[in-house]
Amino acid sequence: MKNCLTIAGSDCSGGAGIQADIKSFSANGTFGMSVIVSVVAENTSRVISAYDVPPQAIRDQLQAIFEDITVDGVKVGMLSDIETMLVVAQELKKYKPQYVVIDPVMIAKGGCALMKPQALSTLIQHIIPLAFLLTPNIPEAEAITGIEIASMEDVKKACVAIYKMGADNVLIKGGHLDGEPADVLYDGTQYYIYNGKRINTKNTHGTGCTLSSAITANLAKGYDVQQCVKMAKDYITKAIENALEIGNGHGPTNHFYEFYNQKGIK
């Protein structure tokens, strides 16, 4: 079995962050591990607070994993401030994992900022160049590139701009555009369009985390990036279609829908 690591914030309600990542790793056939960089008190409706983990604790967690366990894929999520970004960048350069998938989380589902605005330049200079794949949504891609995205052509321009920042591959998720959602993958030479369908549900908490960690799991298993995106898109679509009615706000996706359906669990 391949081993995947998430470096991200902890969501105590279990729908996003490292909790979603580990579920997604498991559902996609890999062993999941975590390095917690922030403890987020949130639920399906709001974020109450977020406490960043001290840099040395981040270093220690990474050392504990890399000195003992082979890491086949790394997913990086919420990095809230400059200090956290710099320590993660330094450690990843030291350990050199083959696959690093970065989901540049900036805002929680309920609208709360999870990345300090002054950290954006550090993200661009120190984190993005580490990415085998960067997976921003439309607002994140706009913040990173300064490009206002209102069309598929704008998405492609943003892909190129991010690629030039050092990411090996760029996947911009198109769910914020009007019409049926389409994601665009750019590998430096070619665009790949992944058309989807808009699902009528409010239960989409953790979809970005789940998608990026599913891609990470399949990269670790040896699939190429185009295959991984297709497999992860199919997986997240089913997870949303079978989303769970938990909480009063945006409920979580159903990471183990296939297992639950087989067992008759509702």
**What pLDDT was estimated at residue 219?**
99
What is the C-alpha separation between 194 and 175, in angstroms, rounded? 11
Residue keyed to tokens 């970065």: 102
pTM: predicted TM-score of the whole model, two decimal places: 0.96
Nearest to 100 by CA among 168, 50, 152, 51: 168
**What pLDDT was estimated at residue 110?**
67
**What pLDDT was estimated at residue 102?**
98
**What pLDDT was estimated at residue 249?**
92
Q: Which residues are catalytic?
A: 173, 204, 206-209
**What pLDDT was estimated at residue 166?**
98
| Residues 42/12, Cβ–Cβ less than 8 Å | yes
Residue ranges per structural domain of the chain: 3-263
| Residues 123/88, Cβ–Cβ less than 8 Å | no
Per-residue pLDDT of the chain (266 residues; tens, 9 = 90+): 999 999 999 999 999 999 999 999 999 999 999 999 999 999 999 999 999 999 999 999 999 999 999 999 999 999 999 999 999 999 999 999 999 999 999 987 767 788 999 999 999 999 999 999 999 999 999 999 999 999 999 999 999 999 999 999 999 998 767 677 799 999 999 999 999 888 888 998 999 999 999 999 999 999 999 999 999 999 999 999 999 999 999 999 999 999 998 889 87
The hierarchical CATH code for the domain 3-263 is 3.40.1190.20
What is the C-alpha separation between 46 and 31, in angstroms, rounded? 30
**What pLDDT was estimated at residue 176?**
63
| Residues 119/82, Cβ–Cβ less than 8 Å | yes
| Residues 210/15, Cβ–Cβ less than 8 Å | no
| Residues 195/185, Cβ–Cβ less than 8 Å | no
